C-alpha cells in the first residue's frame, strides 16, 4: 500500500485530535464501566482486582490507539495538566473535553442498550424502584458514589433506604472522598509525567508507556475503589452519570445521595489533583534530571 509522504508528515487537526479522544474515551468507558455492569448484574467479576485489571488494560489499549494523534489523554483532568504544565494550547482544551465527555456519554448509552433488560430484571428481583434511593445499586453502574456501595458491611440490606445510605456514608465523609480522588489523580499525573519525560533516562520504552499508565490505574483502583469507586476522570463519571439521569435514575444520579459531591469529588478533585501531581513532579523530580542534549 502506498502512502502520500505529505499526508504522513501532516500534524493532526484539532478535529482529528478531538475525534481520537472521543474514540479512546468511548473504549475506556465501554469496557471499564461495562465491567461494573457485569460485576453488578451477573457476578462476572468475583473480586475488585479483576475489575481493576480491566480498567488498566483498556486504558493501555486506548492510549496505544490514540496516543500518536491526540496524546491519549482520555481524561479532562489530564488534558488540564498538560495545558498548565506542558504547553498544550488552551484553544485545544475545549475540543479535547468535548470529545472525552461525548465519548463517555455515547458509551454509557450503548451499555444501557445492551444491558437494559438485565438492569430491569435485576431491579425487579431486588425490589428496587429506579429513581428511588435504593436504586443507587444500579445507578452505580454509571456514576460513582462514596462510600462505594460494595463496601456496605451488611450486604443483605438491599435495597438500601435513604437513612441506611446516610449511615453508610459516615464511613467516607466528603473530605476523605475529596482527598482520595485528588490524591489518586495526583499519583496518576506524577506517573504520566515521569514515563513521558525525555529527560528521565529511566523511563520505559515508548511502546511500554501505555502499559505502565494502565497498571498505575489498576493499582490505584485496588486501593481507593472501596472509598469512592476510584474515578480520577471527570468524563468517566459525569458522562455516564448524566446519561443515567435521563435514563430514569433522576436525582439518584444527579446530584445523588452525596449531594454536591458529584461535582466536588468527581470533577473538581481530579482536576486539582492532576495539576498538583504535575506541579510536584516539575518541582521535586524534574530539576534533578539531566538536561536534554
- 130 domain residue, yes or no: yes
- 3 domain residue, yes or no: no
pLDDT at 6 exceeding the cut of 50: no
- 2 domain residue, yes or no: no
pLDDT at 203 exceeding the cut of 80: yes
The pLDDT value recorded for residue 69 is 97
- 289 domain residue, yes or no: no
- 292 domain residue, yes or no: no
Question: What would the pLDDT profile of 124-157 be if each residue is shown by its tens digit?
Answer: 998 999 999 889 999 999 999 998 766 554 454 4
Q: Which domain holds residue 278?
A: 11-284
- 63 domain residue, yes or no: yes
- 48 domain residue, yes or no: yes
Q: Contact 158/134 with Cβ under 8 angstroms?
A: yes
The pLDDT value recorded for residue 116 is 96
- Split at pLDDT 50, 70, 90, the class of 44 is confident
CA–CA dist 120, 115 (Å, integer): 9
Q: What's the number of domains the chain is made of?
A: 1
Question: What would the pLDDT profile of 72-86 be if each residue is shown by its tens digit?
Answer: 999 999 999 999 999
Supply the CATH number for residue 22's domain.
Answer: 1.20.1080.10
Tally of CB atoms within 10 A around 219: 16
Give the helix ranges, DSSP H, for 133-208: 136-139, 162-169, 174-196
- 291 domain residue, yes or no: no
Amino acid at each position: 500500500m502506498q502512502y502520500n509522504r505529505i499526508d504522513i508528515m501532516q500534524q493532526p487537526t484539532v478535529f482529528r485530535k478531538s475525534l481520537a479522544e472521543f474514540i479512546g474515551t468511548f473504549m475506556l468507558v465501554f469496557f471499564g464501566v461495562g465491567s461494573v455492569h457485569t460485576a453488578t448484574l451477573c457476578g462476572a467479576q468475583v473480586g475488585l482486582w479483576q475489575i481493576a485489571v480491566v480498567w488498566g488494560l483498556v486504558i493501555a489499549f486506548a492510549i496505544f490507539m490514540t496516543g500518536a494523534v491526540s496524546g491519549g489523554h482520555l481524561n479532562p483532568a489530564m488534558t488540564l495538566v498538560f495545558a498548565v504544565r506542558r504547553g498544550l494550547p488552551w484553544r485545544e482544551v475545549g475540543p479535547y473535553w468535548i470529545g472525552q465527555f461525548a465519548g463517555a456519554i455515547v458509551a454509557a448509552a450503548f451499555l444501557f442498550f445492551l444491558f437494559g433488560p438485565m438492569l430491569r430484571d435485576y431491579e425487579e428481583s431486588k425490589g428496587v424502584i429506579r429513581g428511588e434511593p435504593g436504586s443507587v445499586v444500579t445507578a452505580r453502574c454509571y456514576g460513582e458514589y462514596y462510600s462505594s456501595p460494595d463496601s456496605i458491611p451488611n450486604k443483605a440490606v438491599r435495597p438500601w433506604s435513604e437513612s441506611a445510605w446516610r449511615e453508610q456514608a459516615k464511613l467516607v465523609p466528603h473530605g476523605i472522598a475529596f482527598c482520595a480522588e485528588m490524591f489518586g489523580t495526583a499519583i496518576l499525573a506524577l506517573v504520566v509525567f515521569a514515563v513521558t519525560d525525555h529527560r528521565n533516562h529511566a523511563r520505559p520504552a515508548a511502546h511500554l508507556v501505555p502499559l505502565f499508565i494502565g497498571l498505575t490505574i489498576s493499582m490505584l483502583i485496588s486501593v481507593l475503589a472501596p472509598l469512592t469507586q476510584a474515578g480520577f476522570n471527570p468524563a468517566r463519571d459525569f458522562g455516564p452519570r448524566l446519561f443515567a439521569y435521563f435514563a430514569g435514575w433522576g436525582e439518584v444520579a444527579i446530584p445523588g445521595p452525596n449531594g454536591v459531591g458529584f461535582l466536588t469529588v468527581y470533577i473538581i478533585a481530579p482536576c486539582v489533583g492532576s495539576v498538583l501531581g504535575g506541579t510536584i513532579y516539575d518541582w521535586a523530580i524534574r530539576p534533578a534530571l539531566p538536561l536534554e542534549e
